[in-house]
């Protein structure tokens, strides 16, 4: 195979190696430059991050202060207001006002949390970034030191391939020298062998002729001399060949060691040098960013807690409870007055409706008239009530429509970065809103008209029913123990105590939609010291004359 290889001269070989080594040295220089450039990029990134977080901390603080001021403005207003004095005691706090207080609480919470965020950016995240920067700088210097050591070894070993130093013989040069000598010895040996063959040829030529003894002697010594020279040259050749072999072996062993070291550097050492430079950079940067994330996630958790509290308060909004709270607070205004008692005139000892003859017949007739009148009125009013109920249901459907989901406005579509306008949302569009409101007010107007109608009817019914019931008691219902003895003249009898409260009208029981029971908490109100509720609960046969207003109307939800 080597037969095709062009024979190279010493200088050419050295030149080739020199070029190769020069290329390697250029790479080493570039590798350092690359490492330096990477460290600079990192320092720049860390500096940018620090600047970023410093400015973001400022923004957080500004935002926090704005929120704090906002919350304080309204809190101060509340503190100084009449309502606050009124509702100061928690049990008197209206559920709607409670929501407002929680909105302000949430604002204060956000303010504090953003201040905390600002603090964490300044005193934790930025400090960490500064430390990472110090580490990057220090590790670059230390890694370069390691790299310098690696490069020195590499340069030394590759140089030794072809340069001659004072301390050490160059193995290739030695090989070249011994090989040159070996070639020269070989050629000399060959020349000697050629001359020897010539001499032998001469001897054979003259052997056929008669030679002088002297000539023969001379020729014999010449051949011997030739043989000796040949031997000497053979020895010299062998010696040089051995030296050359040893030198070549050394050269080859040296070459294999050099190649191994170069390979080790390129495959492992350069990577290790970069690893030294990278030492902890990713881990420390990750910890810094995780600190940032932890802060942001914690803010989110806190925010969420606050929003949940507010949501709970919105869920707990209670129109009925609030009404009772207000009535309790003004109990003297809403407390039913004392009953109008029967006042006997000038010692009149009769204290109950008299149904003796001759008035009995008239009363009986009157009772029957009332009964039939009431029946008609109730049927009529029941119709009005049904219309009222249906209208209220329509109103309630309008008032509790779930139109509050705005999550769509926060969808970040990847294609368009534009923010959807909240007002462009079809449900909250001006036309839609106006239409809905007009609709609502129309229904409301109809409801009020019907309600007045119902009120008139029920007022009349209540009055007639009271009379009817009293007549019924008087006219022979006295057999029943309850009515006959203790209650026969309860409506008109002067009470023994002046503080007795008015009795509710007693309408006969009738199969009607039951009143929705009020939530338990409502029973705690103190307006009637619990008596009214107990009374109503005890008298379940007593229907609500205006049930329409209460239908499906328990909370603000």
Return the residues of window 345-364 that contact a copy of itself according to CB under 8 A: 345-354, 356, 358-359, 362-363
Q: What is the DSSP secondary structure assignment for residue 455, as one 8-state letter?
A: H
| Residue from 39, 50, 98, 158 binding a copy of itself (CB under 8 A) | 158
Query: With respect to a copy of itself, which residue has the nearer C-beta, 276 or 390?
Result: 276
Query: With respect to a copy of itself, which residue has the nearer C-beta, 127 or 203?
Result: 127
231 binds a copy of itself (CB under 8 A): no
Which phi and psi angles does 476 have, rounded to 5°? 80, 5
61 binds a copy of itself (CB under 8 A): no
Burial of 490 (0-12, 13-18, 19+ CB in 10 A): middle
Which phi and psi angles does 27 have, rounded to 5°? -60, -45
Site for a copy of itself in 427-486 (CB under 8 A): 428, 433, 437, 441, 444, 448, 451-452, 455, 458-459, 462-467, 469-471
Site for a copy of itself in 174-193 (CB under 8 A): 175-176, 179-180, 183
* CB atoms near residue 513 (< 10 Å): 13
Orientation of helix 95-120 relative to helix 281-315, angle to 10°: 170
365 binds a copy of itself (CB under 8 A): no
Please state, in angstroms and rounded to a whole number, the distance separating the CA atoms of residues 137 and 128.
Answer: 14
Comparing CA positions, the residue from 254, 255, 278, 274 lying closest to residue 266 is 274
| Residue 542 CA: distances (Å) to CA of 59, 456, 515, 537, 545 | 65, 19, 10, 9, 9
339 binds a copy of itself (CB under 8 A): yes
Dihedral sign computed on CA atoms, order 26, 31, 36, 42 = positive
Query: With respect to a copy of itself, which residue has the nearer C-beta, 220 or 287?
Result: 287
Tokens of residue 106, six digits: 């949430």
CB of 470 to a copy of itself, least distance (A): 5
Dihedral sign computed on CA atoms, order 183, 187, 188, 189 = positive
Q: How many residues bind a copy of itself (CB under 8 A)?
A: 232
Site for a copy of itself in 70-129 (CB under 8 A): 70, 73-74, 77, 83, 95-97, 99-100, 103-104, 107, 109, 112-113, 115-116, 119-120, 122-124, 127
CB of 196 to a copy of itself, least distance (A): 25
Comparing CA positions, the residue from 114, 115, 116, 105 lying closest to residue 71 is 105
144 binds a copy of itself (CB under 8 A): no
206 binds a copy of itself (CB under 8 A): no
164 binds a copy of itself (CB under 8 A): no
Could you tell me if 299 and 116 are in contact, meaning their C-beta atoms sit under 8 angstroms apart? yes
Burial of 489 (0-12, 13-18, 19+ CB in 10 A): middle
User: Under 8 Å CB-to-CB from 535, ≥6 apart: which residues?
Assistant: 504, 528
223 binds a copy of itself (CB under 8 A): no
Site for a copy of itself in 302-331 (CB under 8 A): 302-305, 307, 310-311, 314, 317-319, 322-323, 326-327, 330
Among 1-9, 187-195, 196-204, 378-386, the segment contacting a copy of itself (CB under 8 A): 1-9
Site for a copy of itself in 9-48 (CB under 8 A): 9-10, 13, 16-17, 20, 23-24, 27, 30-31, 34, 38, 41-42, 44-45, 48
Q: Identify whether 28 is preceded by a cis peptide bond (ω within 30 of 0).
A: no
Site for a copy of itself in 260-299 (CB under 8 A): 260-264, 266-272, 274-276, 278-299
CB of 214 to a copy of itself, least distance (A): 45
Strand partners, 475: none
Among 67-75, 190-198, 213-221, 379-387, the segment contacting a copy of itself (CB under 8 A): 67-75
Comparing CA positions, the residue from 145, 142, 175, 141 lying closest to residue 161 is 175
Site for a copy of itself in 374-413 (CB under 8 A): 395-396, 399-407, 409-410, 412
Query: With respect to a copy of itself, which residue has the nearer C-beta, 192 or 288?
Result: 288
């Amino acid at each position: 195979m080597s037969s095709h290889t062009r024979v190279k001269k010493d200088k050419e070989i050295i030149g080739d190696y020199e070029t190769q080594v020069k290329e390697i040295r250029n790479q080493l220089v570039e590798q350092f430059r690359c490492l330096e450039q990477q460290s600079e990029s990192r320092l720049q990134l860390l500096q940018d991050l620090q600047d970023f977080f410093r400015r973001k901390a400022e923004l957080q603080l500004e935002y926090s202060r704005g929120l704090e001021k906002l919350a304080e403005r309204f809190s101060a207003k509340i503190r100084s207001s009449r309502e606050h004095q009124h509702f100061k005691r928690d049990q008197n706090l209206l559920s709607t006002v409670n929501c407002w207080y929680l909105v302000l609480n949430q604002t204060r919470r956000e303010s504090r949390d953003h201040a905390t965020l600002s603090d964490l950016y300044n005193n934790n995240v930025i400090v960490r970034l500064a430390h990472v920067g110090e580490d990057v700088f220090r590790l670059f210097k230390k890694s370069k030191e390691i790299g310098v050591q690696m490069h020195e070894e590499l340069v030394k070993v590759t140089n030794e391939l072809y340069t001659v130093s004072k301390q050490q013989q160059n193995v290739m040069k030695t090989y070249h020298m011994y090989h040159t000598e070996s070639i020269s010895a070989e050629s000399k040996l060959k020349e000697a062998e050629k001359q020897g063959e010539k001499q032998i040829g001469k001897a054979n030529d003259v052997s056929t002729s008669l030679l002088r003894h002297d000539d023969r002697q001379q020729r014999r010594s010449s051949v011997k001399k030739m043989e000796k020279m040949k031997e000497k040259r053979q020895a010299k050749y062998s010696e040089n060949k051995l030296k050359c072999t040893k030198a070549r072996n050394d050269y080859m062993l040296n070459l294999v060691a050099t190649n191994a070291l170069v390979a080790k550097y390129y495959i492992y050492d350069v990577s290790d040098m970069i690893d030294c430079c990278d030492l902890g950079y990713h881990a420390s940067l990750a910890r810094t960013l995780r600190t940032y994330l932890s802060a942001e996630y914690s803010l989110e958790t806190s925010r969420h807690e606050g929003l949940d509290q507010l949501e709970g308060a919105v869920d707990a909004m209670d129109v009925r409870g609030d009404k009772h709270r207000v009535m309790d607070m003004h109990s003297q205004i809403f407390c039913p007055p004392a009953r109008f008692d029967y006042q006997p005139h000038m010692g009149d000892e009769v204290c109950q409706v008299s149904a003796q003859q001759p008035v009995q017949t008239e009363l009986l007739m009157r009772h029957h008239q009332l009964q039939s009148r009431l029946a008609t009125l109730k049927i009529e009013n029941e119709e009005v009530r049904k219309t009222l109920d249906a209208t209220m249901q329509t109103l309630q459907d309008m008032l509790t429509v779930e139109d509050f989901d705005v999550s769509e406005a926060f969808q970040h579509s990847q294609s368009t970065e534009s923010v959807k306008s909240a007002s462009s949302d079809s449900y909250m569009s001006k036309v839609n809103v106006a239409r809905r409101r007009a609709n609502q007010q129309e229904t409301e107007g109809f409801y009020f008209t019907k309600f007045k109608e119902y009120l008139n009817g029920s007022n009349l019914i209540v009055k007639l029913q009271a009379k009817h019931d009293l007549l019924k008691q008087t006219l022979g219902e006295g057999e029943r123990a309850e009515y006959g003895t203790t209650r026969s003249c309860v409506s008109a009898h002067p009470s023994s105590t002046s503080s007795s409260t008015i009795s509710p009208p007693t309408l006969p029981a009738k199969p009607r939609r039951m009143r929705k029971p009020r939530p338990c908490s409502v029973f705690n109100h103190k307006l009637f010291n619990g008596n009214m509720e107990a009374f109503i609960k005890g008298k379940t046969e007593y229907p609500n004359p205006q049930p329409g207003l209460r239908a499906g109307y328990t909370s603000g939800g």
